Structure 1
Amino acid sequence: MDENWERHADRLAARSLRAGDPTGWFEELYSAGRAGSVAVPWNRVQPHPLLAAWTRERAPDGTGLRAVVVGCGLGADAEHVATLGYDTVAFDVSGTAVDLARDRHPGSTVRYVVADLLALPPDWLGVHDLVVEVYTVQALPEPPRRRAIGEVARLVAPGGTLVVVAAARGDADPEPDGPPWPLTRDEIEAFATGDLGAVAINRIPDQDDPAFARWFAEFRRR
């Protein structure tokens, strides 16, 4: 292993973006991680703490309901959602990420699928009672980031809930040159479209670095 995966990601993303391909670098990065040339990226074994805290507080019962995890990576968030009783599908644009998630969770009830947020299967739209998006949209430039926000929202069923976790950026802060692109307040509010309304949008400072903050947002469709 000869390189930090985040530096490798920056280089791959820059090359992919120059080629007009905003998502192709994910597969290259996960493939490098599987090959051992970099550490496996986004290698979490536990659900994101903000997602876990929300489920402890709300104690949702997913029995008989459907959930989808956007940009699932290695599956930590998807496995957590499945423990709540949801019939869970989790997707990633990287086939290698999906393979690694399946290998990491043998016998899982989660259906891990290769899919592109920018070209969602039509039968996924408007049918999920819980949609979880953690750090996926912020990995896309603008465009197509704003379009991706709308695509996430389209997954939510009537009466369903969308939970979003993202790094936060002030409206006056300069946009970074490369990923991630922390979301502004305007971008986090953009998930609320049509009859999908915001329940709560919280900006949470990092305990160890107050200069860094995350959004935790909950939306519900009428």
Structure 2
Amino acid sequence: MLEQQPEQLRLRVQQLATEALEKSSPSAWFEVLYAEAKGDAAQVPWAKLAPHPYLQDWLTNHPFSAQGKKALVIGCGLGDDAEALAKLGFEVTAFDISPTAIAWCQQRFPDSTVKYVIADLLAIPSEWHLGFDFVFECRNIQALPLNLRSSIINSIADIVAPSGTLLIITRVRDTEMEPSGPPWSLSNAELAELENLGLHKVEQIEFLESQETDVRQVRIQYHKPVKLIY
């Protein structure tokens, strides 16, 4: 089979996402895409077989002690971001809704300390409540439609432990008008929901998705303060 070109992959993703929405199962298309790839990472458009460069940059320039700390990677894909955190000493849990993706991770990293699990961002396990000192969310919120956005953002904020860190990488848009998608870039008001839920923005940088496009992305670091009880 000839390798699909990026444009063909983009159209396939949109087709799968549209079909999933029509079936009222908006995240089901991830498993279809991973299964269709048949072990060829080139057929998964976001799989770079390396940690996201802006995650790696953050880890390099924000030294901290990971020993004894728990980290969670949301929508872990093929596992490179999770492995980068594990190398620092985090106790890492990484989840994806796709069983094929999780099996792929376990095949790629058979001796990994990362706990790879199948889970759904739309139904976060209750035992993860306030459970992680570091949470990494990279472009999963934007892959799901706007009518789910508030509940997803609530779920993500809920799993960050007091005094924990949330690091987000996502596309952003300039208006509150609903964009075409997928992906559906986040607006300022949608990002502000995280602060409304008690997270404090520490740092934000903006970058272009690639030299070939003008698609804006941001990396935002949030801190969840400890609530004092008097």
Query: What TM-score, normalized to structure 2?
Result: 0.89
Deviation at 1:41, TM superposition (A): 4.0
Aligned residue in 1 for 2:228? none
SS at match of 1:192: helix
| Shift in Å, 1:210 | 6.8
Match of 2:95 among 91, 96, 111: 91
- Give 2:115's aligned residue: 111
Residues 118-174 of structure 1 show CA distances to partners (whole Å, capped at 9, x for unaligned) of 111111110100000001111000111221111111110011000000012111665
**Retained in 1: the 8 A contact 2:171–2:186?**
yes
Show the counterpart of 1:6: 10
Q: Distance in 1 between matches of 2:67 and 2:224?
A: 19
What residue ranges of structure 2 are gaps of 5+ in the alignment? 226-230
Partner of 1:162: 166
Matched, 1:66 2:70: yes
Distance 1:199 1:105, change over 3 A: same
d(CA) in 1 for partners of 2:118, 2:81: 16
8 Å CA contact 2:94, 2:117 repeated in 1:
yes
Query: What do you get for the CA RMSD once the two structures are aligned?
Result: 2.0
Contact 1:149 1:191 in 2 (8 A): yes
The answer to whether the Cα contact below 8 Å between 2:17 and 2:182 also exists between their aligned partners in 1 is yes
Tell me if the contact between 1:92 and 1:113 (Cα under 8 Å) persists in the aligned partners: yes
1:186 match: 189
Equivalent in the alignment of 1:196:
199
Asked if the contact 1:90/1:113 (under 8 Å) is kept, the reply is yes
Query: Aligned partner of 1:197: which letter?
Result: H
Match of 1:34 among 34, 38, 41: 38
Name stretches of at least 5 consecutive residues in structure 1 with no aligned partner: none
SS of residue in 2 equivalent to 1:117: coil
Q: Secondary structure at the match of 1:163?
A: strand
Aligned partner letter, 1:21: S
Identical columns (%): 35
Q: Report the Cα offset of residue 44 of structure 1.
A: 1.7
TM-score by length of 1: 0.92
Give the one of 42, 50, 53 matched to 1:49.
53
Cα contact 1:189–1:198 (8 A) shared by 2: no
1:47-105 Cα offsets, whole Å, 9 max, x none, are 11111111111122210010000000001111111111100000001111111111111
From the superposition, tell whether residues 76 and 146 of structure 1 become closer, same or farther in structure 2 (CA, over 3 Å). Answer: same
User: How many corresponding residue pairs?
Assistant: 221
- C-alpha distance in structure 1 between counterparts of 2:26 and 2:77, whole Å: 17
- Change in CA separation of 1:184 and 1:63 when aligned onto 2, cut-off 3 Å: same
The answer as to whether partners of 1:69 and 1:131 remain within 8 angstroms in 2 is yes
